[in-house]
Amino acid sequence: MSAVISASAAEGADLTPWPAEFVERYRAAGYWRGEPLDALLRDSARQHATRTALVCGTRRWSYAELDARVDRIAAGLAQRGIAAGQRVVLQLPNIGEYVLMVFALFRLGAQPVFALPAHRRSEIGYFCAFSEAIALVIADRHGGFDYRALAREVRADAPTLAHIIVVGDAQEFTAFEAIDAEPVALPAPDAGALAFLQLSGGSTGRPKLIPRTHDDYFYSVRASADICGLTEQSVYLCALPAAHNFPMSSPGILGVLYAGGCVVLAPDASPDTAFALIARERVTITALVPPLAMVWMDAAASRTNGCHELASLQLLQVGGARLSDEAARRVGPLLGCRLQQVFGMAEGLVNYTRFDDGEALVVGTQGRAISPDDEVRIVDDEDRDVPEGTAGHLITRGPYTIRGYFRAAVHNARAFTHDGFYRTGDIVRKLPGGYLVVEGRDKDQINRGGDKVAAEEVENHLLAHPAVLDAAVVAMPDAYLGERSCAFIVPRGEAPRATEIARFMRERGLAQYKLPDRIEFVAQFPKTGVGKIDKGALRLAVSEKLAAHAAVS
Ligand code: OOB
């Protein structure tokens, strides 16, 4: 037996296949059609050639233009040696080049890794190295940050990274505009193969990568477009970061392009920017996380004489974190459109409230699953089903839910049941008709208004500080974001200043949203009966402290 085991073989498969009987079932039901994701654009370009597909600022692409440009970029990438099966880390803001690059990579069969603009050296370096990416695609600058400087740092630790492609001023790197060649016939990617890697919100030390296939994702896009009633008249405002699963496929950018509608990219989600775009482009549908929905409602309420800018808006989707019933009730009256709650996850399962649902379901639940073949179980600690209406752990499998993370055999053994159900880490109640109410979470994660922070990842960075003996990161309640993070730290001697810890964390190249919002120094941690840190007690301690403070002030 060879003593040499490649890192990937030791860590597990890139893609954990569905068992043959499920593959057969999903194909027979028509969910998996054997079509690669770029076919979605190709078909719409045939049917809607002259219609506007994409708007970014003053730039507009018709379907025919978008499709032709994607052909040229795919050929240009191939010419530079980027091939099917290779990974490309994509870190772009909401700009047209993002959509072009995603489809060019799909067409080529190369696999985008969907990073967010907020990610920094710690995350991007890890994605490039762990996925063995051949290329990194960035913007020159965005939001006051220079991504070329980040790329220089990352390159040093990512030996496979042969290309850095920059939208804008490329400096020593390859300019996006230079990726251009006469279209060539490319072999269609295998629809059952890994199409791209999404990022998991995660609860572990390193973000897990989520391998999605063309077949499974295409199904979720088609079904989502159908549930949301998209047509070629739909105009979708993408105000959330485009690479997130919600604005990408629920039904998002891909769903709208599938339906022949128009995608409008917003540079940010502030009411000033978004309302003006909604008015200018006659936007009909958009998606937000709960804190932004609240900001929009406040802004609409403060506009005198009602909010005419939003007159065209028919549907606001809200998801990513729990929307309170009270906020849900205000959406219709304040924004003059319908609300749809969306409870989804990059690993697969997505739930929507439906158009024919009554007010009680739309306001008080997070919807029901997309597919009749989504198996949604609510179980106790021993994986036994609990009675309907009782809160328990949500586990699921189905035609668009992964069976394993990318190269993560050890973690997969915990994150999935032996028969392939994904353990979502959400505590949920299931009502008659399959409607779900999210009650909480048993994963070690902070949901900062839709941005997921894995406690262990932040703790590991804190532990690297010489003055930190032990660290535990927990969620604390927050009126705006729902939750923020609080780091409890046992110092080694004299407690360092909180500002010093923040500086240290930033220098380690961690995305800003993962930095602890509050730091509490303690002499020791409360422990559970088995001697583990009692995070429940820490959560209680900080929320009581905040409540006491609020009562005084
Ligand atoms: C979406 O995807 P992720 O991967 O960023 O996060 C998934 C997790 C869920 O497991 C749950 O804990 C939480 O985010 N979540 C919600 C929620 N939607 C997501 N918790 C309560 N209420 C909701 N409506 O966040 C995502 C992916 C596709 C569509 C929508 C959201």
**pLDDT tens digit sequence for 59-110:** 999 999 999 999 999 999 999 999 999 999 999 999 999 999 999 999 999 9
In the reported structure, the alpha carbon of residue 245 is separated from the centroid of ligand 1 by a whole-number distance in angstroms of 9
What's the average model confidence in pLDDT over 125-148? Answer: 98
**Assigned domain for 246 exists:** no
Q: Is the pLDDT reported for residue 512 higher than 90?
A: yes
Instruction: Output 228 or 8, whichever has higher pLDDT.
Output: 228
Q: Phi, psi (5° rounding) for residue 335?
A: -105, -10
pLDDT > 70 in the chain, percent: 98
Fill in the DSSP letter of residue 404: S
Best CA proximity match to 418, nearest among 1, 10, 15, 16 = 16
Q: What is the distance, to the nearest Å, from the Cα of residue 203 to the centroid of all Cα atoms in its chain?
A: 14
Domain termination residue (choose one: 393, 418, 443):
443
163-167 long-range CB contacts below 8 Å, 24 or more apart?
163/80, 163/82, 163/134, 163/135, 163/136, 164/135, 164/136, 164/137, 164/138, 165/135, 165/136, 165/137, 165/138, 166/137, 166/138, 166/139, 166/140, 167/92, 167/95, 167/97, 167/137, 167/138, 167/139, 167/140
**Gap between the Cα atoms of 104 and 72, Å rounded:** 8
Task: List pLDDT tens digits, range 443-483.
Answer: 999 999 999 999 999 999 999 999 999 999 999 999 999 99
What's the pLDDT score for residue 7? 52
How far apart, in whole angstroms, are the C-alpha atoms of residue 129 and residue 160?
A: 7
pLDDT per residue as tens digits for the range 155-168: 998 999 999 999 99
Of 424, 443, 462, which residue sits at a domain end?
443
199 lines ligand 1 (CB under 6 A): no
List the residue whose alpha carbon is closest to atom 7 of ligand 1.
345
Rounded Cα distance between 207 and 97, Å, is: 26
Q: Is 321 in the pocket of ligand 1 (CB under 6 A)?
A: yes
Q: How many domains does one find in the chain?
A: 3
CA of 355 to the centre of ligand 1 (A): 20
ipTM for this model: 1.00
- In a 3-state reduction of DSSP, which class is residue 485? strand
Nearest atom within ligand 1 for CA of residue 319: 24
Which residue range forms the structural domain that includes residue 389?
1-14+375-443
CA–CA gap between residue 12 and residue 524 (Å, rounded): 38
Q: Please, what is the Cα angle at 442 between 441 and 445, to 5 degrees? A: 75
Residues 417 and 459 in one domain: no
- Token pair in block for residue 446: 């902070």
Angle, helices 498-507 vs 455-463, to 10°: value is 100
247 Cα: distance to centroid of ligand 1 (angstroms): 12
Does the structure show a pLDDT above 80 at 304?
A: no
Q: Whose CA is nearest to atom 25 of ligand 1?
A: 320
Which pLDDT band, with edges at 50, 70 and 90, does 553 fall under? Answer: confident
- Which residues contact residue 15 at a Cβ distance below 8 angstroms, ignoring those fewer than 6 apart? 193, 194, 211, 213, 404, 406
End-to-end CA distance of the chain: 69
The verdict on 67 and 169 lying in the same domain is yes
Provide the CATH number for the domain around residue 2. Answer: 2.30.38.10
Return the pLDDT at 148: 98
Q: Which atom of ligand 1 is nearest to the CA of 394?
A: 10
Q: Do 200 and 80 share a domain, yes or no?
A: yes
- Quick one: 404 and 542 in the same domain? no
What is the Å distance from ligand 1's center to 437 Cα? 12
pLDDT band at 1 (very low <50, low <70, confident <90, very high): very low
> Is 340 close to ligand 1, i.e. is its CB under 6 Å away?
no
Considering only CA atoms, which of 226, 223, 244, 338 is closest in space to residue 289? 244
Query: What's the chain's Rg over C-alpha atoms?
Result: 23
With H, G, I as helix, E, B as strand and everything else as coil, classify residue 5: coil
- Nearest atom within ligand 1 for CA of residue 250: 29
pLDDT-derived band at 5 (thresholds 50, 70, 90) equals very low
pLDDT at residue 552 in the model: 79
CA distances in angstroms from 424 to 101, 203, 205, 346, listed in the order given:
30, 11, 17, 10
368 CB less than 6 Å from ligand 1? no
**In the predicted structure, residue 2 carries a pLDDT above the cut 60:** no
Residue 434 belongs to some domain of the structure: yes
Which of the four pLDDT bands, split at 50, 70 and 90, describes residue 305? low
Does some domain include residue 324?
no
Residue nearest to atom 12 of ligand 1 (CA): 426
Block residue for tokens 């932004």: 292
In a domain, 529, yes or no: yes
Q: From atom 14 of ligand 1, which residue's Cα is the shortest distance away?
A: 320
Any residues with CB less than 8 A from the CB of 463 and at least 6 apart, and which? 470, 471
- Show contacts of 464-470: CB within 8 Å, 24+ apart: 464/508, 465/496, 465/501, 465/504, 466/492, 467/491, 467/492, 467/493, 467/494, 467/495, 467/496, 468/492, 468/496, 468/501, 470/525, 470/533
Domain shared by 458 and 544, yes or no: yes
Q: Is the CB of 366 under 6 A from ligand 1?
A: yes
Percent of the chain past pLDDT 90, that is, above it, reads 94
414 and 469 share one domain: no
- Confidence (pLDDT) at 9: 54
Contact of 497 with 480, CB cutoff 8 Å: no
Asked whether residue 290 is domain-assigned, the answer is no
475 with 433, same domain: the answer is no
Report strand pairing: 194-199 vs 209-213: antiparallel
Q: Does the pLDDT at position 37 exceed 50?
A: yes
Q: 122 pLDDT exceeds 80?
A: yes
The owner of tokens 């690297």 is: 464
- Check pLDDT > 90 for residue 239: yes
CATH number at residue 45: 3.40.50.980
CB 394 within 8 A of CB 427: yes
DSSP label at residue 142 = E
Atom of ligand 1 nearest to the CA of 347: 4
Are 284 and 314 a contacting pair, CB within 8 Å?
yes
Over 70: is that where the pLDDT of 50 sits? yes
Which residue's CA lies nearest to atom 22 of ligand 1?
322
Q: How far is the CA of 543 from the centre of ligand 1 (A)?
A: 23
Nearest atom within ligand 1 for CA of residue 342: 24
The verdict on the CB of residue 350 being under 6 Å from ligand 1 is: yes
What is the residue with the minimal CA distance to atom 3 of ligand 1? 345
Tell me if 286 CB under 6 Å of ligand 1. no
The number of CA neighbours under 13 Å toward the Cβ of 80 is 24
Q: 423 and 376 in contact (C-beta within 8 Å)?
A: no
Q: From the CB of 453, is ligand 1 less than 6 Å away? A: no
Q: Which of 406, 423, 443 is the C-terminal boundary of a domain?
A: 443
289 C-alpha vs ligand 1 centroid, how far in Å? 9
Mutating to test ligand 1, I would choose from 114, 209, 345 the residue with most ligand atoms within 8 A of its C-beta, which is 345
SS3 readout for 453-479: EEHHHHHHHHHCCCCEEEEEEEEEEEC
Asked if 193 and 220 sit in the same domain, the reply is: yes
Ligand 1 center–CA 470 separation, angstroms: 30
CA angle 177, 122, 422 (to 5 degrees): 95
Q: Quote the tokens at residue 28.
A: 């027979």
Question: How far, in Å, CA of 336 to CA of 313, rounded?
Answer: 8
Q: Are residues 167 and 92 in the same domain?
A: yes
Rounded distance between C-alpha atoms, residue 133 and residue 161, angstroms: 6
Distance in Å, CA 344 to ligand 1 centroid: 4
How many Å lie between the centroid of ligand 1 and the Cα of residue 43?
30
Ligand 1 pocket, 290 CB below 6 A? no
Residue 500's domain is classified under what CATH number? 3.30.300.30
Whether 252 lines ligand 1, by a CB cut-off of 6 Å, is no
Residue 39, SS3? Answer: helix
Q: How far is the CA of 343 from the centre of ligand 1 (A)?
A: 5
Same domain assignment for residues 48 and 192: yes
Do residues 216 and 94 share a domain? Answer: yes
Distance 444 CA to ligand 1 centre (A): 15
In this structure, is residue 325 part of a structural domain?
no
Task: Give the Å distance between the CA of 248 and the centre of ligand 1.
Answer: 13
- Dump pLDDT digits (tens) for 243-271: 999 999 999 999 999 999 999 999 999 99
Structure tokens at 275: 């309302």
- The ligand 1 atom at the shortest distance from the C-alpha of residue 426 is 12
441 three-state secondary structure: strand
**Which residue is listed with tokens 């900062």?**
448
> Is 351 within the bounds of a domain?
no
Q: Which of 221, 322, 343, 423 to mutate to test the pocket of ligand 1 (most atoms within 8 A of CB)?
A: 343
For the chain, what is the mean pLDDT? 96
In a domain, 20, yes or no: no
Examine the domain organization and report whether 524 and 393 are in the same domain. no
